[in-house]
Amino acid sequence: MKKKLPSVFFALMIALLLVSAFSSVMLYRYNKIFGLAGLVCSAVLVAVIIVMTVLYFRNVMRHISKMNAHLETSAAEYMNSLPAPIAVIDNNNCFVWYNQIFSEKIGLGSDLYGLSFESSVKADLAELNANGYCYCSINGSVYRVTSEKFDQNDISFLIIYFHDETAYRNLKKLTDETRPTVVIMTIDNYDEIMQNAKESEKAQASVETEQLIEKFMSSTNGFIKKSSSNTFYAVIENRHIEEKIADKFKILDYARNIKIAGKYPLTFSIGVGQGAETLAESEQIARQCLDMALGRGGDQAVVKTDSGFRFFGGVSKGVEKMSRAKTRIIASALQDLIMDSDSVFIMGHRFGDLDSVGASCGLAGAVRLLGKEVHIAVDRTKNLASHLIDIVEDQTDSELFMTPAEALESVGNNDLVIIVDTHNKDFIESRELYESARAVVVIDHHRKTVNFIDDAVIFHHEPYASSACEMVTELIQYFRFETDERFPSCYADALLSGIMLDTKNFVMRTGVRTFEAAAFLKKMGADTVAVKLLFSNSIDSYKRKAQIVSSAKIYNRCAIAAADFKSDDIRLVAPQAADELLNITDVDASFVIYRTNNTANISARSMGALNVQVIMEQLGGGGHQSMAATQLENTSISDAEKLLIAAIDERMNDAQHI
């Protein structure tokens, strides 16, 4: 039977069977012969119904079987004609099947059956199994690869799907490249440079500057606007920013060729707001980068990254500002903070020197004249100015100094913590004391680093100042003292010693304001002979310094010396040896490597021709253009020397391309 029987036919047959059976029973009561005949007919009818039912369901099963076969064939054809590449590999990672588009786009028409998947397709199966997906580039297209495992009857296959994301990747790349980025450019110390220039010189400098900026923008499709006499705002696409980064912002080098009155070079500071989601966020990031550039002395471009900041330039010295308006304002605000606090705690950096301790002592003397309780937190066991601490204690007869642990126990909820000669959280004397303070003030002259203290109530930062002692000396000149008590001379000696240390006896990084600060300290009773005695060494220390100097070798106009001996005063002797090495002819910079425990330390000095700060930053340190240092954990002296030479070579290569 080829046609399906309708359900109505089965219902009629059953109804006829019931009528026949009922009629046979009734006839049997009146006539047994007719009744038996009716029963026989009913039985035959039942047999017919059973046979027809069996034949019907057999045809149904045959039809279902045909449909299943048809569906399996359709599914295979569908998988083969899918617009996405699909492949099946076995337990040995060999191809057992793939569809037509896989053969065309990935196999390029080659026969891949039985070949290894990883040798034919550059996709990482380990990453695919671990993450559920992976990416691979094949024949100029980018695919997102996913997989599905098939296990049945001891047969195991891995079905791999290839999702073409080339168009999406190209669109994303285009979006990233055309994303607008805000760039802020400012001329460093414009007012100070221009104040004594003639009008013709100002006009000429202005024209040359704007021509330089137009040349800078000519290779981009962005625009730039002048917002003030020394500040420019630009919006540039990200792809052009990447070109400027690859070019290391050569506009910085070209700007230094513009000289005001023939002698004052022009320098730019540039902040780049890269990586922002909106223009407002980009402008905010650009401002942060510009602040970082200015905090490091200017003449550089700063780009913010996920891990911190990238710096370009920074080869010229910071220009000293002649105006003291900022100092006067900060002094007034600092005095108000001091007067509103119950007591004041002052600390410098770890392994404090004469500048750190001297600034702390000078500021402490001023706070005492204001009538406030003050303490200096210092670790005497790790300090290079212990002689100065002893002198101040003998002459003041007071418990001015305490250990960081004692200061931490004494600090209250309404106390002020002042940090001098550092702004890096990793270098301060006591991180715990800083974190427990209600309010923090930072006074520092070092070029700004990435991990700076960002929650200070007052952040007094002047990278062009010679020392922290110079900054403190200027601040206390503007304090309003209500007592006639004289400023103790030992505090003036301490401040002068810090200035003399960082300026190499008024030779390096010395400006007009440096001499004015020294003159003020002399007026306050500073004794230059007593200060000179603070720099005296024992005969053994002098021999160790001479030993370091005699072991030096010259490499690329740099004197490199290694102190391979242990000494209690090595932290004091090594920097002095670095200073001595600068007296050698044709030496632009000096580096002394010494070891403390498992750390290799490098003390770097320069006369200004070579920026040692940039070299030390490559090794994780920092400092100034003429004085910097770094620490290399778990590093031998020989390995530290190799790293130093590599950093010097990199810096020299960069300088050759300027």
CATH number at residue 572: 3.10.310.30
Residue 503: how many other CB atoms lie within 10 Å: 23
Q: In this predicted model, what pLDDT tens digit does every residue of 489-515 receive, in sequence order?
A: 999 999 999 999 888 888 887 888 899
Query: For helices 325-339 and 468-477, what crossing angle results, to 10°?
Result: 80
288 and 217 both lie in a single domain? yes
CATH number at residue 279: 3.30.70.270
Who has greater pLDDT, 305 or 576? 576
Q: What is the pLDDT of residue 79?
A: 64
Phi, psi (deg, nearest 5) at residue 74: -65, -40
446 and 553 both lie in a single domain? no
Distance CA 627, CA 503 (A): 10
Distance CA 143, CA 471 (A): 60
Amino acid at 393: E
Helical spans, DSSP H, in 397-536: 404-410, 431-435, 468-477, 489-502, 512-523, 528-533
Please report whether residue 451 resides in a domain: yes
Q: What is the pLDDT of residue 3?
A: 45
415 and 515 both lie in a single domain? yes
Give residues with Cβ within 8 angstroms of 481, minimum separation 6.
369, 370
96 and 224 both lie in a single domain? no
195 and 270 both lie in a single domain? yes
Q: What is the pLDDT of residue 398?
A: 73
| Residue in the block written with tokens 């020294």 | 518
Q: Which H/E stretch holds residue 612?
A: helix 612-618
Return mean pLDDT, the chain: 83
- Asked if 104 contacts 97 with a C-beta cutoff of 8 angstroms, the reply is no
- Asked if 211 contacts 257 with a C-beta cutoff of 8 angstroms, the reply is no
- Asked if 356 contacts 421 with a C-beta cutoff of 8 angstroms, the reply is yes
Q: What is the pLDDT of residue 1?
A: 41
What average pLDDT does range 588-615 have in this prediction? 89
Distance CA 73, CA 239 (A): 51
Q: What is the pLDDT of residue 5?
A: 46
118 and 216 both lie in a single domain? no
Burial of 615 (0-12, 13-18, 19+ CB in 10 A): buried
Give residues with Cβ within 8 angstroms of 658, minimum separation 6.
250, 253, 315
* HEC readout, 187-229: ECCHHHHHCCCCHHHHHHHHHHHHHHHHHHHHCCCCEEEECCC
416-420/343-347 β-pairing = parallel
- Asked if 526 contacts 473 with a C-beta cutoff of 8 angstroms, the reply is no
Please report whether residue 468 resides in a domain: yes
72 and 25 both lie in a single domain? yes
CATH number at residue 123: 3.30.450.20
Please report whether residue 319 resides in a domain: no
Q: What is the pLDDT of residue 67?
A: 43
Provide the pLDDT confidence category of residue 342 given band limits of 50, 70 and 90: very high
CA distances from 182 to 233, 289, 579 (A): 7, 11, 43
257 and 286 both lie in a single domain? yes
CA distances from 641 to 555, 603, 623, 632 (A): 11, 12, 19, 11
Please report whether residue 320 resides in a domain: no
Is the pLDDT assigned to residue 588 strictly greater than 50? yes
What average pLDDT does range 155-183 have in this prediction? 87
What average pLDDT does range 351-355 have in this prediction? 90
Nearest Cα to 518, choosing from 533, 503, 534?
503
Q: In this predicted model, what pLDDT tens digit does every residue of 532-564 receive, in sequence order?
A: 888 887 888 889 999 999 999 999 899 999 998
> Any idea which of 99-103, 268-272, 362-366, 407-411 has the lowest mean pLDDT?
99-103
CA distances from 6 to 11, 41, 415 (A): 9, 23, 99
Q: What is the pLDDT of residue 470?
A: 94
| Domain end position, chosen among 79, 95, 113 | 79
- Asked if 562 contacts 643 with a C-beta cutoff of 8 angstroms, the reply is no
Region label for 472, one of left (φ > 0), alpha (ψ between -120 and 50) or beta (otherwise): alpha
Please report whether residue 374 resides in a domain: yes
Mean pLDDT: which of 102-116, 232-246, 302-316, 619-633 is highest?
Answer: 232-246
| Domain end position, chosen among 79, 100, 128 | 79
Q: How far is C-alpha 199 from the chain's CA centre?
A: 44
Query: pLDDT exceeding 70 applies to what percent of the chain?
Result: 84
Provide the pLDDT confidence category of residue 202 given band limits of 50, 70 and 90: confident
Q: Counting runs of H as helices and runs of E as strands, what totals does the chain give?
A: 24, 25
Residues 85-113 as b/e (b if ≥16 CB within 10 A, e otherwise) read bbbbbeeeeebebbbebbbebbbeeeebe
Give residues with Cβ within 8 angstroms of 517, minimum separation 6.
469, 470, 473, 474, 495, 499
What average pLDDT does range 283-297 have in this prediction? 85
Is the pLDDT assigned to residue 520 strictly greater than 90? yes
Structural domain span for residue 94: 86-169
387 and 488 both lie in a single domain? yes
CA distances from 42 to 28, 77, 294, 485 (A): 13, 52, 111, 137
Provide the pLDDT confidence category of residue 364 given band limits of 50, 70 and 90: very high
Q: What is the pLDDT of residue 42?
A: 64
559 and 465 both lie in a single domain? no
Query: pLDDT exceeding 90 applies to what percent of the chain?
Result: 32
| Domain end position, chosen among 313, 336, 371 | 313
Distance CA 605, CA 580 (A): 10
Distance CA 208, CA 219 (A): 18
| Residue in the block written with tokens 């070891």 | 595
Nearest Cα to 462, choosing from 607, 629, 624?
624
CATH number at residue 489: 3.90.1640.10
Is the pLDDT assigned to residue 122 strictly greater than 60? yes
Who has greater pLDDT, 148 or 341? 341
Provide the pLDDT confidence category of residue 374 given band limits of 50, 70 and 90: very high
Q: What are the structure tokens assigned to 420, written together?
A: 């001098």
Distance CA 581, CA 389 (A): 29
Domain tally, the chain:
5
In the sheet that holds 622-623, the strands lie side by side as: 553-555, 558-563, 589-596, 599-606, 627-633, 622-623
Is the pLDDT assigned to residue 236 strictly greater than 90? yes
454 and 384 both lie in a single domain? yes
What average pLDDT does range 383-387 have in this prediction? 87
Please report whether residue 156 resides in a domain: yes
402 and 427 both lie in a single domain? yes
Q: What is the pLDDT of residue 71?
A: 40
